[in-house]
C-alpha cells in the first residue's frame, strides 16, 4: 500500500500562479532598487567626505544587506518557499513605515512617498492573495 507522495508515486508539482510570479518580480525590482541605492551610497562615500566614516560605512553595509535579503526573498518566492510570506510582509511593512516618514517630511519630499507606498501595498496585496497563500502554505 502506498500513500500519496511516496517515492513510487510522487505528488504532481505545484504550478506557479501568476500572482506569485508577479510577487517575485516585484520583490526582485525592490531588491535591485535597494542594491542600486547601496551602490549610490558607495559612490557618494568616494566623492564626498562624510561627518563620520563609521556611520557612513555602517549605513552602506545595512543597505546592501537589506538588498541581498530582499533578493533572497524574491528567489524564495519564485521557488514557492513557505517562509517568504513573513519575510516579504516584514519588508513591505518597513517600506510603508519609510513612506509614512517621507509623507511627514522627515526623509525627503512628500511626493517621493507615493511610489513607495503604492509598491508596498501592491506587495501586501499579492502576498495575501489566495493563490500565493495556497502555494506557500506549509504542508
User: Does the pLDDT at position 22 exceed 80?
Assistant: yes
Proportion of the chain above pLDDT 90, given as a percent: 75
Average pLDDT over residues 43-50: 92
Contacts of 84-93 with C-beta under 8 Å, sequence gap 24+, read 84/136, 85/127, 85/132, 85/133, 85/136, 88/23, 88/27, 88/123, 88/127, 89/124, 89/127, 91/27, 91/30, 91/123, 92/120, 92/121, 92/123, 92/124, 92/127, 93/120
* Percent of the chain as helix, strand, coil, to the nearest 5: 70, 0, 30
Cα–Cα distance measured from residue 100 to residue 7, given in angstroms and rounded to the nearest whole number = 51
Give the pTM.
0.84
User: What's the grid cell of residue 125?
Assistant: 496585496
The answer to whether 136 and 81 have CB atoms below 8 angstroms apart is: yes
Q: Is the pLDDT of residue 36 over 90?
A: yes
Structure confidence at residue 91 (pLDDT): 97
Q: Which pLDDT band holds residue 10 (cuts at 50, 70, 90)?
A: low
Q: Are 77 and 23 in contact (CB under 8 A)?
A: yes
Mean pLDDT value of segment 104-111 = 78
What confidence category does residue 110 fall into, taking pLDDT thresholds of 50, 70 and 90? confident
102 vs 125, higher pLDDT: 125
Amino acid at each position: 500500500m502506498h500513500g500519496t507522495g511516496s517515492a513510487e508515486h510522487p505528488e504532481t508539482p505545484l504550478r506557479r500562479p501568476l500572482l506569485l510570479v508577479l510577487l517575485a518580480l516585484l520583490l526582485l525590482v525592490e531588491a535591485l532598487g535597494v542594491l542600486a541605492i547601496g551602490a549610490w551610497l558607495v559612490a557618494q562615500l568616494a566623492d564626498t567626505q562624510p561627518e563620520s566614516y563609521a556611520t557612513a560605512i555602517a549605513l552602506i553595509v545595512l543597505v546592501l544587506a537589506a538588498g541581498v535579503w530582499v533578493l533572497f526573498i524574491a528567489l524564495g518566492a519564485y521557488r514557492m518557499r513557505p517562509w517568504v510570506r513573513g519575510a516579504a510582509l516584514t519588508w513591505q511593512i518597513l517600506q510603508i513605515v519609510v513612506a509614512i516618514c517621507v509623507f511627514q517630511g522627515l526623509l525627503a519630499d512628500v511626493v517621493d512617498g507615493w511610489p513607495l507606498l503604492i509598491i508596498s501595498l501592491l506587495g501586501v496585496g499579492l502576498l495575501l492573495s489566495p493563490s500565493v497563500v495556497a502555494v506557500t502554505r506549509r504542508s
